[in-house]
Amino acid sequence: MTEFLQTPQARLVISLAILAILSIIGLYLVRRFRGESEDAETSSTMLTKFREMRHRGVLSDTEFREIKTLLAEDIRAKVKRKDDSD
| Number of domains the chain contains | 1
- 58: domain range? 2-85
Confidence tier at 25 by pLDDT (50, 70, 90):
very high
Alpha-carbon span 18 to 70, nearest angstrom: 42
Are 39 and 71 within 8 A, CB to CB? Answer: no
> Does the structure show a pLDDT above 90 at 21?
yes
Q: What is the pTM of this model?
A: 0.45
**Residue 12 confidence (pLDDT):** 92
DSSP string, 3-70: HHHTSHHHHHHHHHHHHHHHHHHHHHHHHHHHHHHHHHHHHHHHHHHHHHHHHHTSS-HHHHHHHHHH
Residue 24 pLDDT grade (very low, low, confident, very high; cuts 50, 70, 90): very high
Measured N-to-C along each axis, helices 8-56 and 61-85 cross at an angle, to the nearest 10 degrees, of 130
- Model confidence pLDDT, tens digit, residues 33-86: 776 555 556 777 888 888 999 999 988 999 999 988 888 888 788 778 777 776
